[in-house]
Amino acid sequence: MSRIFKYMSVALFLIIMTGASVTNSFAYATGKSEVMIVVNFANGVIGDVRIRDDIKDIKRAIGNKRVKKSQELLEGLPSDLYILSFGTHKVFKHWNAFSYKDLVFKTKEGLGVGSKVDDFNRFFGQGTIREEGSLAICYSTADKQICVIIERINREDQSVELYLNSIVTEIWVW
């Protein structure tokens, strides 16, 4: 009896300690998140935060503690990167774009990380493949460009049709 209790205690401890990653794994597997923060690609707004605003305006709107400055390499040169916190969820503000990998950020139509490429095709029309480090399918409209990052399928003949059922793992908006 004590052996079973010991294993259950260890299992419970592991679930508590890794609960976020277990939940996140479940969410990725199902493509669903319990919470949704609305993203408006056209206006560059997430929740009620205008991501395309100057960083000073963003800090004034959400507070300094929710904005962390970092750096990334852009064509080999250091460039400022700001990490904006929405609770435990993060959005990355690059010099000319924003990106995220979290399931919680969705358009009002439900598009986001965890969606299929085909869902984006139905809403934005046929995307085009772009490879720059990772594989992306990009959609251009009059006022924005959205690229969804997916896992590359190893085949010589690359086409968007090959990726229709692929799950989006990251989103970039310019």
Go through the domains of the chain in sequence order and give each one's CATH number.
2-25+35-173 (2.60.460)
Q: Are 62 and 70 in contact (CB under 8 A)?
A: no
pLDDT of residue 159: 86
The pLDDT tens digits for 53-67 are 999 999 999 999 999
pTM of the model: 0.78
CA distances from 91 to 5, 9, 47 (A): 41, 36, 11
Low-confidence stretches of the chain (pLDDT beneath 70): 1-34
pLDDT of residue 83: 98
pLDDT of residue 98: 98
H/E stretch holding 128 reads strand 128-132
Q: Are 150 and 133 in contact (CB under 8 A)?
A: no
Could you give the strand order of the β-sheet that contains 134-140, starting from the edge strand earlier in sequence?
Answer: 67-74, 77-86, 89-93, 98-100, 170-173, 145-150, 134-140, 128-132
Q: Are 134 and 152 in contact (CB under 8 A)?
A: yes
102 burial via Cβ count (<10 Å: 0-12, 13-18, 19+): buried
pLDDT of residue 157: 79
Q: Provide, for the chain, the percentages of residues in helix, strand and coil under a 3-state DSSP scheme, each rounded to the nearest 5.
A: 30, 35, 35
Q: Are 81 and 69 in contact (CB under 8 A)?
A: yes
DSSP-derived secondary structure letter, 88: T
